[in-house]
Amino acid sequence: MIETPYLLFLGDAPDMLAAKVAIGIRDWRPENAVGQIRLDGCGADLGLTDMTLAAAREAGAKTLVIGVANRGGVISAAWKEVLIEALQMGYDLAAGLHNLLRDEGDLVAAAQTYGGTLHDVRVPTVGYPIANGVKRSGKRCLAVGTDCSVGKMYTAMAMERDMAERGMKTTFRATGQTGILITGHGVPLDAVVADFMAGSIEYLTPDNDDDHWDMIEGQGSLFHVSYSGVTMALIHGGQPDALILCHEPTRAHMRGLPGYTLPSLEQLRDTALPLAQVANPECKVVGISVNTQHMTEDDARSYLSEVSSRMGLPATDPYRFGSDVLVDALIAL
């Protein structure tokens, strides 16, 4: 559990692409961010108030979140100065960097001296159980994709927000570092040891009220040979009642895998649903989420309409057009 609210550290990020984590926090948990702090030459700007460490601390910030990727896997001297000063002021630090905060002797020393906590969200800190497959109470929805990075996290986030606005009981369950930093808790599934993957998801989505929906963040794809095992564990550990199919129609090949074409939404449905029904025989595919960011609005709307009638399911781009039709489908279950 990472203490909120945050001050978002953008460092010397060259551009907005490097600030994915910080953007996610601003977009999905704006109440978690009191402001941003940037170094000279920073090319990223979240549009939040630029604050000093001291001013943000006064505004209530508990954790300095490193919301950017660092260059070349090195935490630079310029970053270190700010991070150590933050620890001196009583901040915790949180990051999803490849190189860990805990491997930096000066940060560890400062954290010990001033009583701060270093959160490396890539690293599991819980001894997860082996999955037991026992049916849990409450409802669960999982987004599965034709490929990696097609909008599974944004789909679950958008649906959770719209469900909460309707007064429904719902919790976004993060399974990746960005989701964990955005919400402050979750399971870094890609770093969990193989035997405990499905068990970590059972742990993440425990028994709940019968009318409560866990919106589980998807990972990878059953059709992505590098990460399909992670997706499989999510499907079986998550015991979803509802699957959302996610797709990005303009992609030429599977992400990072030239020569591998994307499956159709029909193939995804016909592969994922029977596997999900092993763990939850009642599971249904309830809708389709399309990432239309590379399409004009006209093209996007006509694509969604075609897909929806072809597959007999509601279809939307939840980020662009809202997730209402997907939430309606969950309610209709």
Torsions phi, psi for 49 (to 5 deg): -65, 130
Select the residue interacting with its own copies from 100, 232, 273, 311 (CB under 8 A). 232
DSSP helix/strand/coil, 213: strand
Distance CA 128, CA 90 (A): 30
* Residue 108 vs 275, nearer CB to its own copies: 275
Which of 257, 308, 322, 324 binds its own copies (CB under 8 A)? It is 257
Kindly determine how many residues on this chain lie close enough to bind its own copies according to the rule CB under 8 A.
40
What residues contact 215, with CB distance under 8 A and at least 6 apart? 141, 156, 157, 159, 160, 163, 170, 171, 172, 173
Which is closer to its own copies, CB of 128 or CB of 213? 128
One residue of 91, 172, 223, 319 binding its own copies per CB under 8 A: 223
- Compute the least distance from the CB of residue 279 to its own copies, in Å: 5
Q: What is the C-alpha end-to-end distance of the chain, expressed in Å?
A: 32
Kindly give, in sequence order, each residue whose CB lies less than 8 Å from that of residue 79, ignoring residues fewer than 6 positions away.
9, 11, 12, 39, 66, 70
278 binds its own copies (CB under 8 A): yes
The SS3 of residue 171 is: strand
Question: For residue 24, which amino acid is it?
Answer: G
Single-letter code of the amino acid located at 104: E
SS3 at position 223: coil
Interacting residue with its own copies among 40, 259, 298, 332 (CB under 8 A): 259
Compute how many other C-beta atoms are within 10 angstroms of the C-beta atom of residue 1: 9
Pick the binder of its own copies from 106, 109, 229, 264 (CB under 8 A): 229
Nearer to its own copies, 38 or 255 (CB): 255
Which of 39, 275 has the CB closer to its own copies? 275
Nearer to its own copies, 15 or 195 (CB): 195
In the shown chain, the binding pattern of residues 177 to 216 toward its own copies, with x for contact by CB under 8 A and - for none, equals ------------xxxxxxx-xxx-----------------
CA angle 186, 188, 191 (to 5 degrees): 160
228 touching its own copies, by CB under 8 A:
yes
CB of 247 to its own copies, least distance (A): 16
Return the number of the residue (220 or 318) whose C-beta is nearest its own copies. 220
Q: Which two tokens stand for residue 319?
A: 């980020």
CA distance 59 to 154: 29
Query: CA–CA separation, 40 vs 28, rounded Å?
Result: 27
Q: Which stretch binds its own copies (CB under 8 A): 72-80, 97-105, 204-212, 220-228?
A: 220-228
Residues that bind its own copies (CB under 8 A): 130-134, 189-195, 197-199, 222-223, 225-233, 235-237, 254, 256-257, 259-260, 263, 271, 274-275, 278-279
